[in-house]
Copies of this chain bind each other. A is one copy, B any other.
Amino acid sequence: MLDKVSENHDVDALMLEIGRRAKAAARPLAIASTEQKNRALDAMANAIVSSKDTILAANAVDLDNAASSGLAASFLDRLTLTEERILAMAGGIREIAGLKDPVGDVIAAWDRPNGLQIERVRTPLGVIGVIYESRPNVTADAGALCLKSGNAVILRGGSDSAHSSHAIHACLVEGLLQAGLPEHAIQLVPITDRAAVGAMLGGLTGTIDVIVPRGGKSLVARVQAEARVPVFAHLEGLCHIYVDASSDVEMAKAIVVNSKMRRTGICGAAETLLVDSAAIGSHLMPILEALTEAGCEVRASPTVLKVFAGFKPATDEDWRTEYLDAIIAVAVVDGISGAIAHIGKYSSNHTEAVIADDPEVVERFFNEVDSAILLHNASTQFADGGEFGMGAEIGIATGKMHARGPVGVEQLTSFNYRVHGTGQIRP
């Protein structure tokens, strides 16, 4: 069925039609009640659970195709659905139903001397485009988050997961219809043509308000380079930890090891450790020993190598590398000023941590490091919408416009001003 659509339609015309449908669905969705949206989400979760055999069968087709294409094991793992993963997907949708509805929230309210009462109220953004790789669960996550925030969404999943995504999408549409919401509120692009991505990046003639890419660096880089509409994304998380001489050694050890090693493959994992030159004698070796014991490879700057020559030397490339692996680059810096300078040069503006007891050091770090998330005496692995108490997130943004840091349902909204008068005219 997917191929038939691809043969029969001109891609641009099809995409514009999808855009028109999304825009038409966006207005009724924007004024849908919280209860109605939650009813749809519950029905979606139920449909996913009761369709699990259909979803598994569709996934088997994708897995067969992928295996015969000789794709990597890690790719196949992300593509694979199991009964457990399907139940977790349904559970994720129910959690989103449980979040506070951001739409209609009064963000600020004030009165004017002439009696005008001004409110700033959250409204949906409109239409969100999500472009993702072959992770079928994103279909459910992204669809549910956009619905909860009152936005229509156009989902464009990876071609290798097309059958799985299609089966999951059918459950989402079932949920929309059961709650009386427009079926085009959540659309899955039915063709695998890459030109469909190009059309979305162009904004579908002003239809798409924001694009969220979910996937590896090459996907995000393409989206950031080509999109003609705003993008919520991070290209990479090259996270730094700075250990100041004023810090507690045991705390620094524990936080550095956790930041690097708890999960090495996430964007909040630390990639570079900066140690205060005044802490060489006290902090450096205990921390490097703890990292080594935890199975982490250390790539060391010349000053670190003077203390212990056994590490692999770091090259300039190491300061620019998001390893996403059990490797850390370590440099000695000249106190907080040196740390700020190094981070300013190499940071991806995602997440950085300072371990220090000196309040002046912390204040300078917080004021002078220009990243979305700054942590004091805590692990960089807390860089996550759930850990921030924001509920599920669609991603983490490193841009400075609109959404920065974790992007949850609140960040998927805009706002407008609502002014209540009693006949005021302007003199």
Contacts and interface: CB of A to CB of B under 8 A. Distances in A.
Interface of A: 27, 30-31, 104, 110, 112, 116, 118, 121, 123, 125-126, 209-210, 230, 248, 251, 254-255, 258-259, 262, 344, 366-368, 370-379, 381-382, 387-389, 400-402, 404-405, 414-426
Contacts of A110: 389
A404 B414 contact: yes
Nearest to A268: B426
Contact of A367 (B31, B378, B422): B31
Contacts of A401: 125, 209-210, 230, 401-402, 414
A370 B30 contact: yes
A209 B112 CA distance: 32
Best-buried of A112, A344, A368, A379 by chain B (most CB within 10 Å): A379
A92 to B, nearest CB: 20
B387 A404 contact: no
A370 B373 CA distance: 32
A376 B421 contact: yes
Contacts of A414: 400-401, 404
A426 B125 contact: no
26 contacts: A31-B367, A31-B368, A112-B388, A112-B389, A118-B388, A118-B389, A121-B366, A125-B401, A210-B401, A251-B423, A258-B425, A262-B426, A366-B418, A370-B416, A373-B419, A374-B419, A375-B419, A377-B424, A378-B422, A379-B421, A381-B426, A382-B421, A382-B424, A382-B426, A388-B417, A404-B415
Q: Which 10 A-B pairs have the closest CB atoms?
A: A378-B421, A258-B425, A400-B414, A381-B426, A402-B402, A377-B421, A251-B423, A375-B419, A378-B424, A379-B425
A373 B415 CA distance: 10
A20 to B, nearest CB: 14
Contacts of A259: 425
Contacts of A374: 416-419
Contacts of A416: 370-374, 404-405
Nearest to A371: B416
A30 B425 CA distance: 39
Given A373-B417, A402-B402, A405-B416, A378 B27 contact: no
A81 B262 CA distance: 64
Contact of A370 (B123, B344, B370): B123
Contacts of A420: 376-378
Contact of A230 (B125, B209, B230, B371): B230
B31 A419 contact: no
A379 B426 contact: yes
A98 to B, nearest CB: 17
Contacts of A382: 116, 419, 421, 424, 426
B30 A419 contact: no
A208 to B, nearest CB: 12
Given A389-B110, A405-B417, A116 B31 contact: no
Best-buried of A121, A370, A419 by chain B (most CB within 10 Å): A419
A187 to B, nearest CB: 20
Contact of A400 (B126, B251, B262): B126
Nearest to A263: B426
B426 A372 contact: no
Given A116-B387, A375-B419, A376-B421, 19 more contacts: A112-B389, A118-B388, A121-B366, A126-B400, A230-B230, A255-B425, A258-B426, A366-B418, A371-B416, A372-B416, A373-B416, A373-B419, A374-B416, A374-B417, A377-B423, A378-B424, A379-B424, A382-B424, A387-B426
